Amino acid sequence: MSDRTDKIREVARKWLADGTVEAVVGWEQGTYREKCSPVLVRKPEDADRLLFNDRCTNNLMTYLKRDPVRGMEKVGVVAKGCDIKSLIGLLQESQVEREKVMVLAVTCEGVKKDDGTVPIKCQACDVNTPTFYDEIVGEKVASNPDPEARFKDLEKLDAMTPAERNSFWREELDKCIRCYACRQACPLCICSRCIAEKNQPQWVETSPHPRGNFSWNLVRAYHLAGRCVECEACETACPVNIPLMLLNRAMARTVKGAFDYEAGKDPEVQPPLRTFNLDDDNSFIL
């Protein structure tokens, strides 16, 4: 780990010194418990703020679509394999220009959540050693994804009757306070004006009552279907602990099954809702 930290600092320092990039987005040590925190480094001498360890959970790609990074001519970003999946999504949707980003990939054995547990995305990780980058640091880490991990949590939903599922979600979604932390944390929620903030007409009611919460969470999951790369940032950010990844993974499973598509794999492939096949499933339509 410290080895990777050193190398990240070295590369960042070099990029900043020779003008390759204007700034580097990375992680620095946080102040609460063991948390790390995103940081923007603009000067070579500040490169030593950067580090990498198993608490570098934040997906830094979310900063590529925000000020001030968005306006930069060229920016470096430190990224784990899972974070790069988001970048691929942003490239597919033309939100980021490839030549404006220098990806400093870092190999990763998996991170830990604040409570010390291993996130599902790490259990199912197939990109411990990233393959899409400009520069990579760290020894190669073999991926050994647990094939069950990704959709394991869905089994409990699958086992419920529709009515049980409905009351499960009613209870969960009633907690929603419409802070939109899920949206803000998501690197692929790219709209400058979210549908939930449009009021002519008001498709999604903004009040945190059951009907507004239901349609908001439904729309969020729908708009991320086929796009979500399962980085888990939304669920981590949610202050009221709604299990958002259950919805996201249910969508991912659907998209995989119906269109044989997985988000975040290939920037050249069309996302599933931007194309169609003549022989797509027609069985459910009368």
Partner 1 sequence: MPHMTLDRTDLPSLAEALAGQGRRLVLPVREGQELFYREGADPAQLDLSSIPKNSIKEFLFPKCEKILEYEYSGNDVIIEDVAPDAKPTVIFCARPCDAASLPVVEPLWNWDYKDKFFNERREQTLVVTYACRTAPDEACFCVSVGLSPSSDQGSDVMLYGVDESTVAVRLVSPKGQEQEEVFAKFKKGEASDEALEGFAKEGDESLAHRKPLDKVKGWLEEHFEDPLWEDKAFRCIGCGTCTFLCPTCHCFDIQDESVFDAGCRLKNWDGCQFSLFTLHTSGHNPRDTQPKRYRQRIYHKYAIYPEKFGKTLCTGCGRCVAYCPVNLSLYDVVATAQERAEKGE
Partner 2 sequence: MSKIGVFVCHCGENISRTVDCARVAKASGQIRGVAVAKDYKYMCSDPGQALIKNAIKEHKLDGVVVSACSPHMHEKTFRKAVTEAGLNQFLCEMANIREHCSWVHEKEEPTTRKAIELVRLMVEKVKRNMALEPIRVDVTKRALVIGGGVAGIQAALDIADGGHEVILVEKDPSVGGHMAQLSETFPTLDCSQCILTPKMVDVGSHPNIKLYTYSEVEKIEGFVGNFKVTIKKKARSVDIDKCTGCGECQLKCPSKKIPSEFDRGLKNRTAIYIPFPQAVPARPVIDREHCIYFTKGKCKACQKVCPTEAVDFEQTDEYVEEEVGGIVVATGFDLYTTDKQGPYPDYKGYGEYGYGEDPDIIDGLQFERLASASGPTGGAIQRPSDGKEPKSVVFLQCIGSRHPSKGIEFCSKICCMYTAKHTMLYKHKVHHGTAYVFYMDIRAPGKGYDEFVRRAIEEDGAVYLRGRVSRIYRSGDHLIVKGADTLSGAAVEIEADMVVLATAVMPQPGIEGLFQKLGISYDQYKFASEAHPKLRPVECATAGIFLAGACQGPKDIPESVAQASAAASKALILFSRDQMLREPVVAKVNENTCIACWYCVEICPFTAISKKDIRDRQGNLIKRVAEVNPSLCTGCGTCAATCFSNSIDLDGFTDEQIYSEINSLMAVGQDLFPEPEKAEGDSPDEKAA
Partner 3 sequence: MSESPQSETQKDGAGLPEAATSWEPRIVAFICNWCTYTGADLAGTSRMKYPPYVRVIKIPCTGRFDPLFMIKAFERGADGVLVSGCHPGDCHYTAGNYNARRKYTVFKALLETLGMDMDRVWFSWISASEGGKWVDTIRKFTEVIQEKGPFREYREMIDVG
- Give residues in contact with partner 2 (CB under 8 A): 93-95, 190-195, 198, 200-203, 223, 270-271, 273-275
Q: Which is nearer to partner 1, 240 or 258 (CB)?
A: 240
Footprint of partner 1 on residues 164-183 (CB under 8 A)?
177-181
233 touches, from partner 2, partner 3, partner 1, none (C-beta below 5 to 8 Å by class): partner 1
Q: In whole angstroms, what is the distance from residue 17 CA to residue 14 CA? A: 5
**33: contact with partner 1 by CB under 8 A:** yes
**233: contact with partner 1 by CB under 8 A:** yes
Q: Which is nearer to partner 3, 179 or 258 (CB)?
A: 258
DSSP codes, the chain: -HHHHHHHHHHHHHHHHTTS-SEEEEEEE-SSTT-EEEEEE-SGGGGGG-B--TT----GGGGGGSTTGGG-SSEEEEE-HHHHHHHHHHHHTTSS-GGGEEEEEE--S----TTSPPPHHHHT-S-SS-SS-SEEES--------TTHHHHTHHHHHTS-HHHHHHHHHHHHHT-----HHHHH-TT---SS-GGG--TT-SS--SSSHHHHHHHHHHHHHHTTTT-----HHHHH-TT---HHHHHHHHHHHHHHHH---TTS-TTSPPGGG---TTS--TT--
168 touches, from partner 2, partner 3, partner 1, none (C-beta below 5 to 8 Å by class): partner 3
Q: Which is nearer to partner 1, 20 or 37 (CB)?
A: 37
Nearest approach, Cβ of residue 114 and partner 2 (Å): 31
Nearest approach, Cβ of residue 177 and partner 2 (Å): 23
- Among the residue ranges 84-92, 118-126, 150-158, 229-237, the one whose residues contact partner 1 (CB under 8 A): 229-237
**156: contact with partner 1 by CB under 8 A:** no
Positions in the binding site for partner 3 (CB under 8 A): 157, 160-170, 195, 203-205, 207, 209-212, 214-215, 218-219, 221-222, 225-226, 246-247, 250-251, 254-255, 258-259, 272-273, 276-278, 280-282, 284-286
- Among 221, 223, 244, which Cα is nearest to 233's? 244
Task: Give me the residues that bind partner 1 (CB under 8 A), please.
Answer: 30-33, 35-40, 58, 62-63, 66-68, 115, 177-181, 184-185, 197, 202, 205-209, 233, 236-237, 239-241
